[in-house]
Amino acid sequence: MRKAEIDRRTGETDIRLSLDLDGTGKSAVDTGVGFLDHMLTLFAAHGRFDLTVTCAGDTHVDDHHSVEDIGICLGRAVKEALGDRAGITRYGDVTIPMDEALVLCAADVSGRGYLGFDLPVPTQKIGAFDTELVEEFFMAFARESGVTLHLRALAGRNAHHIVEGAFKAFARAMRRAVAVDPALSGAIPSTKGVL
């Protein structure tokens, strides 16, 4: 069962997150950050992951701690759910059009967390959401999950479309990367024998 439950409590956030990598795309997301709720719901649907997230955070300060800490928890959940990563495809990449926006995401479930991020967003806000927090979320996820993740906007003018395209591309790239490859017969997809 490729599932994980993460409970993380700090002086800034109280997060409960559950993830099933072999789900159907069901989600129940209540982070206190409306735009992030929308993005995580998209992530679950397009990744076919079952995801529940609740977060009580210090959003009276701003959304930074909640967004970053949820990225941490999602990264930890992916790492825990994958275990030794035996039998997974390991790599996934996709390019997603979202109206005028075009976003590429490539993922390597390598055990080495890294974020390559070239996603210029033309506005500082999408509604009440600070767009600089998109990079913070993905950086926290990559670091905690041990996934090498590259996100690149190839085109786009509308901030919402660019960021939504990024989350959809992220979901679909991760869906491919964590998929079980029957041809591997449970082997680790690395010549080193470990990821």
Tell me which residue of 158, 181, 12 sits closest to 92, measured CA to CA.
181
Summarised one tens digit per residue, pLDDT across range 112-170 is 999 999 999 999 999 999 999 999 999 999 999 999 999 999 999 999 999 999 999 99
Domains of the chain, first to last: 3-184 (3.30.230.40)
Per-residue pLDDT at 191: 84
Summarised one tens digit per residue, pLDDT across range 55-83 is 999 999 999 999 999 999 999 999 999 99
Q: Name the band, by pLDDT with cuts 50, 70 and 90, for residue 192.
A: confident
Tell me which residue of 107, 121, 115, 74 sits closest to 178, measured CA to CA.
107
CB 64 within 8 A of CB 88: no
C-alpha 134/C-alpha 127 separation (Å) is 14
Distant-in-sequence, close-in-space partners of 11: CB < 8 Å, separation ≥ 6? none
